[in-house]
């Protein structure tokens, strides 16, 4: 690793090339195999989960006989059939059960697994079970949990300055409350694992997972075996978005249990409804805040509580709260403050990772504060936004002690405004609103600073395994998983760059715990940062050995050996990359290497809630214009203009896809995607017919994007690129702000469905 800027790209297809996703053509022809498309081994059985029909209650030991009586059923497995531990906790800090025992804590909680010759028989078996549950009153809202003090973990509090005194002394004092909803991942491919038993206790799990290592650990825990008996493999997922982080692990563990119990391959594929009932979602949040500012709208003090609905168990809520409180100020500076993050316990499915991981929720806070301040001071929101950006005349240090780059915040914001022709369009919108009897236009902006690294320091590590074969072809494996985000092609580009060969020479292979062990999940936007460096290390180690052989053969110094254009050269000497590989083999030099990377310069004190938890920040800004029907609350996003900082992009085509897709996914969370539980705690939006993710028409009618130019990462990231998976999801917050502008600034809870927009219009008298 060096701080020097990288050399110009060594090949057409190396770093910075706009290559397509590695399987794009196979996707389009139907040839790409997802887990459910793998040929089923002879004798494969199928499994189905039995789920709790009650949100909260005392569960009598389940009578498994009715399911066993269903024709085709081979085995029925409940807590008593678990040979290891009935515990799927990803953190290991709480007992979280695979199958409920004694108590059910949410509607849709797994009770048992039915294994049968066919999937329909398994489903019929699961439906035949009649759990006896004595209902208890469920806690179904954040408010109810707060009233009873039902928390999953102690509060996480970040404090700075004398916030209480500053609040009391502030010339203007404001307060607010609002809420945002959860979000179903709606990966198009539902959760699935095919478990194939081998000899002597071995088992292979073909799992659709973002975290093969955790699948290995949890399956081993449930089976009561050493990790080395369980091999987890994943070539690709049909979408993940955080939903196949911890949730994939217990589904794979259940399939492993069934394979162990029957001695036969078992496929567990959740139906869409079961998937939506039994797997966690993005955390809904309730926000309550008080703020003080001066007459010009400079914030002086803030006291905010961010209360998340964690669902019934801990899962990954600690990390979600961490990211919410560390992103609660987003790109802004408040000199004195207290931010309190709470993980409330409710009788709903345990909420989990979802792209942004609490960050998107946390970053909503300041938007609400800015709107309230705009009302109180009579100043435009965007003026207040600029006045309170971190850096410049304001403090640049986050309340937990890490510095933001104020000039980048201002740069992305200014570029977005300029590209969007913002001032002219605001005037045009005002003229339109004055003239039209029923429609209103609204404009909204947003600026972002998003910290990159896992909140759990130990997770910031990665491994890779690279082989060079004697024909010069290369096999690449690393701990990252491919869920459509283009990680595999990016890492292949890194390796192509190191060896100076075209990317077609590199074979991308399925993620496997047998090839690269002890990996972190592919999450927190870190996939290319971590695995890119790990692969770079592995490839670099081999290249150094190869350079040594070439140098000796040619009698030149090693550092003069250049790898480019599929050749290796030094002065007048030149040979094909494959020829050198053959020469290395003949000279008995290893052409295989592992690579390892740990993110430098990060630390965190969870007691003081201070440190340097992020390797760097990713910046972005966005502006949206909406058209709202004041009669019905219907709306449409007319235009969005995005500027996103990707550092020096590894692959601009992939990054663009990530940004646009994240934006629309964020817009869905904030607008049309609504999870609706009935009074008994049953989720009633259980499929795409009732849970509405954006369709093509929801895309902004005009959708402009640019990657921030000439902005190599200052941190020593792989080729000075920056992460891109999550940050742009938050840019969609500008759509919320635009809607809020259109409804006259009134409180607008999320998701801002037409229903809530109409209610806000009526409340605001706009």
Partner 1 sequence: MAGMSSRIALTLNGQPRTLPADTPPGMTLLDWLRGPAPRGAGLTGTKEGCAEGDCGACTVVIEAADGARTPVNACLALLGQMHGRALRTVEGLVAADGAPHPVQRAMAENDATQCGFCTPGIVMSAWAHSRCGGAAHEALAGNLCRCTGYRPILGVFAALEDDGAPAAPAPALEGGSEFAVPGQVFHAPATLEAALTLRAAHPEAWLLAGGTDLGLRVSEHRERPARILSLGAVPELAETRLAPGLLTVGAALPYARLLDLLARAPEMAPLAAHLRRLGSRQIRGLGTLGGNLGTASPIGDTLPPLLALGVRVVLGSARAGERVLDLAEFITGYRQTALAADEIILRVEIPRPPEGAVFACEKLSKRHDQDISAVAAGFLLRLEGGVVAEARLAFGGMAATVARAPRAEAALAGQPVTEEAFARAAQALAEDFAPLSDWRAGAEYRLHSAQGLLRRLHWRIARPDLALEVQA
**In terms of CB distance, is 354 or 400 closer to partner 1?**
354
Interactions with partner 1, residue window 108-137 (CB under 8 A): 120, 123-124
Q: How far is the CB of 66 from partner 1 (least distance, A)?
A: 17
Closest among 285, 479, 293, 257 to 383, alpha carbons compared: 293
Catalytically annotated residue among 386, 482, 674, 726: 726
Considering only 1, 12, 31, 427, the residue that binds partner 1 (CB under 8 A) is 31
Query: Least Å distance between CB 447 and partner 1?
Result: 20
Determine the Cα–Cα distance for residues 45 and 74; give it in Å rounded to an integer.
8
What ranges in 152-211 are assigned the alpha helix state H? 163-169
Closest separation in Å from C-beta 474 to partner 1 = 23
- By CB under 8 A, the residues from 662 to 691 that bind partner 1 are 662-665, 672, 674, 676, 684-685, 687-690
The phi, psi pair for 409, rounded to 5°, reads -60, -50
Q: Does 29 bind partner 1 (CB under 8 A)?
A: yes
Q: Which of 732, 719, 567, 727 is nearest to 651 (CA)?
A: 719
List the interface residues with partner 1, window 610-669 (CB under 8 A).
Answer: 627-636, 653-654, 656-657, 660-665
242 near partner 1, rule: CB under 8 A: no
* Size, binding site for partner 1 by CB under 8 A: 88
Provide the mask over 693-732, with x wherever binding to partner 1 is found by CB under 8 A and - wherever it is not.
Answer: xxxxxxx---x-----------------------------
Supply the minimum distance, in Å, between the C-beta of residue 495 and partner 1: 21
- 10 Å CB burial of residue 723 (0-12, 13-18, 19+) is buried
Angle at CA of residue 57, ends 53 and 59, nearest 5°: 85
Determine contact, residues 587/696, Cβ cutoff 8 Å: no
- Chain center to CA of 399: 24
Task: Candidates 587, 608, 755, 763: give the one binding partner 1 (CB under 8 A).
Answer: 755
| 273, 379, 425, 612: residue in contact with partner 1 (rule CB under 8 A) | 273
Residues paired with 197 in a beta bridge: 203
Please identify, using beta-carbon distances, which residue of 654 and 718 lies nearer to partner 1: 654
- In angstroms, give the least distance from the CB of 288 to partner 1: 24
Nearer to partner 1, 164 or 632 (CB): 632
32 contributes a contact to partner 1 by CB under 8 A: yes
The residue behind tokens 């480019």 is: 564
Nearer to partner 1, 422 or 703 (CB): 703
Residue 30 binds partner 1, judged by CB under 8 A: yes
Whole-number Å distance between alpha carbons of 453 and 442? 35
Give the one residue of 6, 27, 553, 612 binding partner 1; rule: CB under 8 A: 27
- Single residue of 37, 168, 296, 423 touching partner 1 by CB under 8 A: 37
Where do the H-state alpha helices sit in 268-363?
Answer: 272-278, 317-326, 359-362
Task: Report H helices in 671-753.
Answer: 727-731, 733-742
Nearer to partner 1, 507 or 762 (CB): 762
- Give whole-number Cα distances, 36 to 27, 265, 752, in Å: 14, 13, 36
For 733, other C-beta atoms within 10 Å of its C-beta total 27
Instruction: Decide whether 1 or 25 has the Cβ nearer to partner 1.
Output: 25
Calculate the alpha carbon distances from 161 to 346, 392, 645 in Å.
Answer: 33, 20, 31
Q: How far is the CB of 167 from partner 1 (least distance, A)?
A: 36
Tokens of 717: 């990231």
Q: Which residue has tokens 């040594």?
A: 548
* Interacting positions 175-204 with partner 1 (CB under 8 A): 185-190
Active site residue 147: no
| Smallest gap from residue 723 Cβ to partner 1 (A) | 16
When the beta carbons of 24 and 80 are compared against partner 1, the nearer one is 24
Least distance between partner 1 and beta carbon 753 (Å) = 5
DSSP β-ladder status, 203-207 and 110-116: unpaired
Which 547-586 residues touch partner 1, going by CB under 8 A? none
Angle at 531 between CA 527 and CA 535, to 5 degrees: 155
Instruction: Identify which range of 35-43, 91-99, 343-351, 498-506 contacts partner 1 by CB under 8 A.
Output: 35-43
Judge contact between 133 and 54, C-beta under 8 A. Answer: yes
Q: Which is nearer to partner 1, 336 or 503 (CB)?
A: 503
| Residue 474-503 contact track with partner 1, rule CB under 8 A, x = bound | ---------xxxx-----------------
Q: Where are the beta strands (DSSP E) in 78-144?
A: 103-104, 110-116, 133-135
Work out how close the CB of 65 gets to partner 1 at its nearest, in angstroms, rounded to a whole number.
22
Among 585, 692, 716, 749, binds partner 1 (CB under 8 A): 692
The bridge status of strand 610-612 relative to strand 336-344 is unpaired
Taking the C-alpha atoms of residue 422 and residue 621, their distance in angstroms, rounded to an integer, is: 13
Inter-residue contact 176 to 367 (CB < 8 Å): no
The answer to whether residue 26 forms part of the interface with partner 1 (CB under 8 A) is yes
Subset of residues 431 to 460 that bind partner 1, contact rule: CB under 8 A: 436-439
Rounded to an integer, what distance in angstroms lies between the CA atom of residue 540 and that of residue 147? 57
Our CB check for partner 1 shows the closer of 499 and 635 to be 635
Comparing CA positions, the residue from 208, 55, 75 lying closest to residue 137 is 55
Residues identified as active-site? 726
């Amino acid at each position: 690793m060096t701080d020097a800027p990288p050399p110009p790209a060594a090949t057409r297809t190396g770093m910075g090339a706009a290559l397509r996703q590695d399987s794009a053509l196979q996707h389009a022809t139907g040839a790409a195999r997802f887990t459910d498309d793998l040929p089923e081994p002879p004798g494969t059985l199928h499994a189905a989960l039995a789920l709790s029909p009650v949100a909260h209650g005392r569960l009598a030991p389940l009578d498994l006989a009715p399911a066993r009586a269903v024709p085709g059923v081979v085995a029925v497995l409940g807590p008593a059939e678990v040979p290891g531990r009935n515990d799927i906790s990803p953190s290991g800090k709480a007992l979280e059960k695979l199958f409920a025992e004694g108590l059910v804590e949410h509607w849709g909680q797994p009770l048992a697994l039915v294994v049968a010759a066919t999937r329909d028989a398994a489903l019929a078996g699961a439906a035949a079970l009649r759990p006896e549950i004595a209902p208890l009153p469920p806690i179904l809202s954040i408010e109810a949990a707060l009233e009873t003090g039902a928390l999953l973990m102690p509060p996480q509090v970040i404090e700075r300055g004398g916030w209480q005194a500053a609040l009391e002394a502030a010339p203007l004092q404001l307060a607010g409350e609002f809420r945002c909803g959860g979000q179903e991942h709606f990966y198009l491919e539902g959760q699935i694992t095919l478990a194939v038993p081998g000899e002597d206790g071995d088992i292979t799990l073909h799992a659709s997972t973002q975290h093969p290592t955790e699948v290995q650990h949890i399956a081993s825990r449930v089976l009561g075996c050493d990790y080395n008996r369980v091999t987890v493999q994943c070539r690709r997922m049909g979408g993940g978005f955080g939903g196949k982080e911890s949730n994939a692990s217990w589904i794979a563990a259940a399939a492993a249990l069934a394979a162990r119990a029957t001695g036969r391959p078992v496929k567990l594929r959740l139906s869409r409804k079961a998937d939506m009932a039994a797997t966690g979602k993005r955390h809904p949040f309730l926000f309550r805040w008080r703020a003080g500012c001066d007459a010009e709208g400079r914030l002086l003090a803030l006291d905010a509580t961010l209360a998340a609905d964690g669902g019934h168990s801990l899962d990954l809520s600690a990390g979600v709260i961490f990211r919410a409180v560390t992103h609660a100020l987003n790109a802004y500076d408040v000199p004195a403050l207290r931010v309190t993050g709470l993980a409330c316990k409710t009788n709903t499915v345990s909420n989990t990772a979802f792209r942004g991981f609490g960050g998107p929720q946390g970053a909503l806070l300041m938007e609400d504060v800015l709107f309230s301040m705009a009302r109180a001071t009579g100043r435009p929101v965007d003026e207040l936004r600029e006045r309170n950006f971190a850096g410049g005349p304001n403090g640049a240090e986050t309340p937990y002690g890490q510095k933001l780059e104020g000039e980048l915040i201002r740069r992305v914001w200014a570029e977005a405004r300029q590209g969007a022709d913002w001032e002219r369009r605001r005037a045009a919108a005002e003229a339109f609103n004055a003239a039209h009897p029923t429609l209103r236009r609204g404009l909204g902006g947003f600026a972002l600073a998003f910290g990159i690294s896992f909140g759990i320091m130990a997770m910031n590590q990665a491994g890779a395994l690279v082989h060079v074969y004697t024909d010069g072809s290369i096999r690449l494996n690393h701990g990252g998983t491919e869920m459509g985000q283009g990680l595999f092609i990016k890492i292949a580009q890194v390796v192509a760059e190191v060896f100076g060969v075209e990317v077609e020479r590199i074979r991308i292979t399925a993620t496997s715990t047998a090839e690269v062990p002890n990996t972190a999940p592919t999450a927190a936007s870190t996939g290319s940062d971590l695995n890119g460096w790990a692969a770079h290390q592995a490839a670099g180690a081999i290249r150094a050995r190869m350079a040594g052989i070439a140098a000796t053969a040619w009698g030149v110094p090693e550092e003069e050996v250049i790898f480019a254009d599929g050749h290796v050269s030094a002065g007048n000497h030149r040979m094909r990359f494959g020829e050198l590989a053959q020469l290395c083999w003949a000279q008995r030099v290893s052409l295989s290497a592992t690579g390892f990377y740990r993110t430098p310069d990060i630390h965190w004190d969870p007691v003081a809630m201070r440190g340097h938890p992020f390797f760097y920040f990713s910046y972005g800004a966005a502006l949206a214009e909406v058209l709202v029907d004041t009669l019905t609350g219907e709306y449409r996003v007319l235009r969005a203009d995005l500027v996103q900082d990707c550092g020096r992009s590894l692959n601009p085509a992939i990054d663009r896809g990530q940004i646009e897709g994240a934006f629309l996914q964020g817009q869905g969370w904030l607008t049309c995607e609504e999870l609706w539980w009935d009074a008994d705690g049953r989720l009633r939006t259980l499929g795409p017919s009732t849970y509405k993710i954006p369709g093509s028409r929801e895309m902004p009618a005009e959708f402009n994007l640019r990657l921030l130019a000439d902005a190599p990462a200052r941190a020593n990231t792989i080729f000075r690129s920056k992460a891109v998976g999550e940050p742009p999801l938050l840019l969609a917050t500008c759509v919320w702000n635009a809607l809020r502008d259109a409804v006259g600034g009134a409180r607008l809870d999320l998701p801002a469905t037409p229903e809530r927009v109409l209610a806000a219009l009526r409340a605001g008298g706009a």
